[in-house]
Amino acid sequence: MIDYIKGNLIEARNALDRLINEDAQLDNIARAADLLVDTLRGGGRVISCGNGGSMCDAMHLAEELSGRFRDDRPAMAAVAISDPSYISCVANDYGYEHVFSRFVQGNGKPGDLLFAISTSGGSASVVRAAQAAHANGMRVVGLTGRPGSALEQHADVCVCTAAGRYADRVQELHIKVIHILIELAERALQPANYPEKP
């Protein structure tokens, strides 16, 4: 059993090491942070979405922005598409692939940012949300685990944390990227919370 535990930790460490050394993805994280900061500084709102574990990540992003991440500061405008009554309504009436895009159509506006999460990058519901966001004049940050995905084609910036055969390693890197983005947003918008040099 200990061997399996160590194996999982080593595999996760190796995936993180690969991301640390992928200059293109580090640049994409920086570009995503710029979009996030620009959106919040300009009075826009972050709308996040994803399925399953990615929905949990979308909710985590929204609550860390609208609540707090580390130290006290004003709330930042963010919401995750996660209301079960809304999702079941749209899924029943239009089909599950429309659950996020309908929300974006009704609530997104120019100046807002869609944060779209899909480990495969191919979830129809998430890809449709990205398309709806662009139709509404919004920008899109994608967070995926496979290069060249459909979501990447519909994102202004896409961070791809390719990390093996299964979604769990990808999701572990996704939450790390999300925490980095929140910290970078706070550093830009609430610099008093980060008096030390990076």
Domain boundaries, the chain: 2-190
Contacts of 168 (CB under 8 A, 6+ apart): none
pLDDT of residue 56: 97
List, run by run, the mean pLDDT of 10-residue segments along the chain (198 residues). Answer: 93 93 97 98 98 97 95 96 97 98 98 97 97 98 95 97 84 96 96 82
Q: Which CATH number fits domain 2-190: 3.40.50.1100, 3.80.30.20, 1.10.3720.10, 3.40.50.10490?
A: 3.40.50.10490
